[in-house]
């Protein structure tokens, strides 16, 4: 069902897909990624936005993420 919704949206001019780590219990980003990979649309034809919950341990999260990415 999600794939159908994303496909219809894209085919009708929607090119921004918004997600977050909290949507669908944290599974929305993974699901959208799988759908986009399967569709094999040219990457320059759509945008993906995401956000994260700051929470009480945001500083710890940023420190850990920065260390792992750098």
Confidence of residue 60 (pLDDT cuts 50, 70, 90): confident
10 is catalytic: no
On whether the pTM is more than 0.85, the answer is no
The three state secondary structure string of the chain is CHHHHHHHHHHCCCCEEECCCCHHHHCHHHHHHHHHHHHCCCHHHCEEECCCCCCCCHHHHHHHHHHHHC
Which residue among 10, 23, 41, 46 is the active-site one?
23
Domain boundaries, the chain: 1-68
Which has the closest alpha carbon to 20: 56, 64, 53, 42?
A: 53
The pLDDT, as a whole number, for residue 56 is: 61
């Amino acid at each position: 069902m999600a794939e159908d919704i994303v496909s219809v949206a894209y085919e009708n001019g929607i090119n921004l897909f918004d997600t977050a780590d909290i949507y669908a219990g944290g599974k929305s980003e993974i699901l959208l990624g799988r759908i986009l990979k399967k569709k094999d649309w040219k990457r320059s034809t759509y945008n993906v936005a995401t956000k994260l919950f700051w929470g009480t341990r945001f500083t710890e999260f940023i420190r850990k993420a920065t260390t792992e990415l750098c």
